[in-house]
C-alpha cells in the first residue's frame, strides 16, 4: 500500500505516526509517496476574528497556478491572496448559534498549467460571543474530580437525577469504579485556556459522552449503536463544538457512559496556534478539598 498526498487538514502525512497507521498480521509497512506538486497550503490572518471582520488568506506560491477558495459559507474567490468577511458566526453546519461561535471549513484548490492539482483544508472559528475566564475562589490542584454512578443504562442518562456512590480525583479521565462494570462517570474541574481564541472541542466515545464548557454543552455523542459484523461493543461516535474563550481557567464538565464498551471518552481540542490533539492532563485543575478522596 502506498499513501500519496494524504493530508490531515493542510499537513501531508509522511509516516505511520502522522496518519496514523497500525501494521499487524504480517502485513508489509506502507510506503509514502514523494512530494506532490503543486502544493496547496495557506495562512490565515488574523487567527482570531468575529463576524464582519476582514480576514486575509494567503496561499503558498505555485508556478503558473490558479487558486480557488471555498469559504464554507457558500461563497468563493479566486487568486493567491484574498480577503473575506464572514457575515455571521453560525458555521458551515449552522451549529454556532447555541455556543456563540461557528466553525467554517475553508478549502483551497490549486491547479497548475500541467493540470496538476492539490487541495488544502483548514477550519476557522468565527467568534460572535466571548466567554470570560472564571474567578477561582481558592487554591487548585492538578487534575479533575470524578464521580461514579452505577447503572445499566443503554444511553447516557440525566445524571442530575442520580446519586453517585464513588468519588475521587484523577490527573486525567480515569475513575476507579471498584468492580462495577456498568456505570456512568463524571469529571468536573477547570481547564486552562492558553490564549484568547476560538476553540473547538471534540468528543469520541462508543457508549456515550458529553462535554460542557462554562455551562454550555459543546459535544454529545449517542445514542449508541452496535458495531457491524457482530463485533462486540458499540461503534465509536463523534461530536464537536466551538466557542470563543478568553485566556485563563474555565469550568469543564465531562460525562462518559460505560456499558458495552471499554475505556473512557477521548476529548480533543484545537485553537489558535494549537493543532488538533488530546487535551493534556496538565490543562486540568480543580479546587482543593472539593471532593472526598478514598
Judged against a pLDDT cut of 60, whether residue 143 lies above it is answered with yes
Q: How confident is the model at residue 261 (pLDDT cuts 50, 70, 90)?
A: confident
Share of the chain above pLDDT 90, in %: 80
Predicted pLDDT of residue 56: 98
Strand boundaries in 46-161, DSSP class E:
55-59, 65-70, 76-78, 81-84, 101-112, 117-127, 130-131, 140-142, 144-150
Domain with CATH 2.60.40.10 in the chain: 37-128
Please return the burial class of 47, using the count of CB atoms within 10 Å of its CB with bins 0-12, 13-18 and 19+: middle
Q: How confident is the model at residue 216 (pLDDT cuts 50, 70, 90)?
A: very high
Judged against a pLDDT cut of 90, whether residue 34 lies above it is answered with no
**Least reliable range by pLDDT among 31-40, 224-233, 261-270:** 224-233
Choose among 283, 273, 211: nearest CA to 243: 211
151 neighbors 162 (Cβ within 8 angstroms): yes
Dump pLDDT digits (tens) for 73-116.
999 999 999 999 999 999 999 999 999 999 999 999 999 999 99
Choose among 204, 137, 141, 212: nearest CA to 171: 141
Predicted pLDDT of residue 262: 82
Mean pLDDT of 2-31: 87
Which CATH code of 3.40.50.2300, 3.40.1800.10, 2.60.40.10, 3.10.20.810 fits the domain covering 37-128?
2.60.40.10
Please count the helices (runs of H) and the strands (runs of E) in the chain. Answer: 0, 24
Predicted pLDDT of residue 126: 98
Alpha carbons 77 and 237: distance in angstroms, whole number? 35
Could you say which architecture CATH assigns to the domain 140-287?
Sandwich (2.60)
Alpha carbons 118 and 202: distance in angstroms, whole number? 27
pTM of the model: 0.90
**In this structure, what DSSP letter does residue 89 have?**
S
What are the backbone angles phi and psi of residue 228, rounded to the nearest 5°? Answer: -80, 165
Amino acid at each position: 500500500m502506498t499513501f500519496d498526498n494524504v493530508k490531515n487538514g493542510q499537513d501531508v502525512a509522511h509516516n505511520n505516526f502522522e496518519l496514523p497507521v497500525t501494521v499487524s498480521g504480517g502485513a508489509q509497512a506502507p510506503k509514502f509517496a514523494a512530494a506532490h506538486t503543486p502544493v496547496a497550503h495557506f495562512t490565515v490572518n488574523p487567527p482570531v476574528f468575529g463576524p464582519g471582520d476582514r480576514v486575509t488568506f494567503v496561499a503558498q506560491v505555485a508556478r503558473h497556478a490558479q487558486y480557488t477558495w471555498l469559504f464554507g459559507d457558500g461563497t468563493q474567490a479566486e487568486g493567491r491572496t484574498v480577503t473575506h468577511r464572514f457575515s455571521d458566526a453560525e458555521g458551515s453546519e449552522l451549529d454556532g448559534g447555541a455556543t456563540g461561535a461557528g466553525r467554517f471549513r475553508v478549502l483551497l484548490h490549486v491547479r497548475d498549467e500541467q493540470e496538476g492539482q492539490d487541495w488544502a483544508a483548514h477550519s476557522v472559528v468565527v467568534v460572535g460571543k466571548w466567554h470570560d475566564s472564571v474567578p477561582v475562589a481558592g487554591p487548585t490542584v492538578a487534575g479533575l474530580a470524578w464521580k461514579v454512578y452505577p447503572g445499566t443504562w443503554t444511553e447516557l442518562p440525566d445524571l442530575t437525577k442520580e446519586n453517585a456512590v464513588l468519588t475521587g480525583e484523577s490527573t486525567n479521565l480515569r475513575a476507579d469504579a471498584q468492580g462495577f462494570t456498568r456505570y456512568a462517570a463524571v469529571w468536573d474541574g477547570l481547564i486552562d485556556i492558553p490564549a484568547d481564541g476560538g476553540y473547538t472541542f471534540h468528543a469520541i466515545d462508543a457508549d456515550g459522552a458529553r462535554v460542557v464548557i462554562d455551562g454550555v454543552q459543546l459535544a454529545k455523542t449517542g445514542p449508541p449503536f452496535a458495531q457491524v459484523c457482530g463485533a462486540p461493543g458499540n461503534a465509536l461516535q463523534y461530536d464537536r463544538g466551538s466557542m470563543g474563550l478568553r485566556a485563563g481557567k474555565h469550568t469543564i464538565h465531562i460525562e462518559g457512559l460505560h456499558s458495552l464498551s471499554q475505556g473512557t471518552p477521548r476529548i480533543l481540542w484545537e485553537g489558535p496556534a494549537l493543532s488538533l490533539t488530546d487535551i493534556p492532563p496538565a490543562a486540568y485543575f480543580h479546587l482543593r478539598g472539593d471532593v472526598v478522596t478514598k
